[in-house]
A and B are shown apart, each in its own frame.
Chain A
């Protein structure tokens, strides 16, 4: 077989593209249960915020801590399952990166609330959704276009409701924001 440098280069690019595609779609698959969980948390959290605004802070504290713990458990289960598929012992299945990301996001949100001090409940409610929209949109630049689309939809949901669904904004964030995450989880599993 005689190949030109151009043909060799093209083949190497095909290899890189194939491996990247595998990585992207594997990432989508692993993300799905996390998106479902956080979608349900947003529905519960924003719904409870609308019904019981006086205790919203405590509700979100419990939901966020619970969500992070469940997310870590889901991640560990996924890594254990992979290890078993390879016939390997479980080993260390704790994802320090996931823990680090979750902690960093929470600290950023609390620091922002403390320093920039949103003036209205709607601003408090909108900020996490806008933040996750931004993070997903940026993540998509490396981790696959679907993340960017999810991020843009979340941002749009937040801004649309803020301007046009003022009276029931928390319910809107729960239903539309949480619903976006849940539907995104199903989309991530579509090949």
Chain B
């Protein structure tokens, strides 16, 4: 078994969140409000998971103002892409190992 599991990414909401961020083109950011709607998560729940991923260095969170309204945007980092892809490879290995 070559690939590594990633417990931090494997949490259900974080897994879907990382999946979406990984699907965006390189360096593209997505707004917090849009992410929240796509994931059907609450502000607090999503905020907590974003904090966890940011502390791990897997995502970057950028805050600014647009027409005096606060805006938060999220993007996956290079280490985050690597970690996610390694976790996906791990999942595929498990699946293939268990295939008849």
Partners in one complex: yes
Residues of A in contact with B (beta carbons under 8 Å apart): 1, 3-9, 11-12, 14-19, 21-23, 25, 82, 85-88, 191
For B, the interface residue count at a CB cutoff of 8 angstroms equals: 31
B27 in complex: contacting residue of A5, A11, A17, A86, CB < 8 Å: A86
A82-B25, A85-B28, A86-B27 as given contacts; A15 in contact with B16, CB under 8 Å:
yes
In the assembled complex, the Cα of A1 lies from the Cα of B6 at a distance in Å of: 8
Question: Is A12 a contact of B88 with CB atoms below 8 Å?
Answer: yes
Question: Is A25 a contact of B38 with CB atoms below 8 Å?
Answer: yes
In the assembled complex, the Cα of A91 lies from the Cα of B87 at a distance in Å of: 33
Q: Which residues of B contact A19 (CB under 8 A)?
A: 19-20, 22-23
Question: Is B19 a contact of A15 with CB atoms below 8 Å?
Answer: yes
In the assembled complex, the Cα of A19 lies from the Cα of B97 at a distance in Å of: 25
Question: Is B38 a contact of A11 with CB atoms below 8 Å?
Answer: no
Q: Which residues of A contact B19 (CB under 8 A)?
A: 14-16, 18-19
- Smallest CB–CB gap between B54 and chain A, Å? 19
Q: Which residues of B contact A15 (CB under 8 A)?
A: 15-16, 19, 88
A3-B91, A5-B94, A15-B19 as given contacts; A22 in contact with B38, CB under 8 Å:
yes
A14 in complex: contacting residue of B16, B28, B33, B38, CB < 8 Å: B16
Nearest first, the 4 closest Cβ-Cβ pairs linking A and B are A5-B98, A191-B37, A8-B94, A18-B16
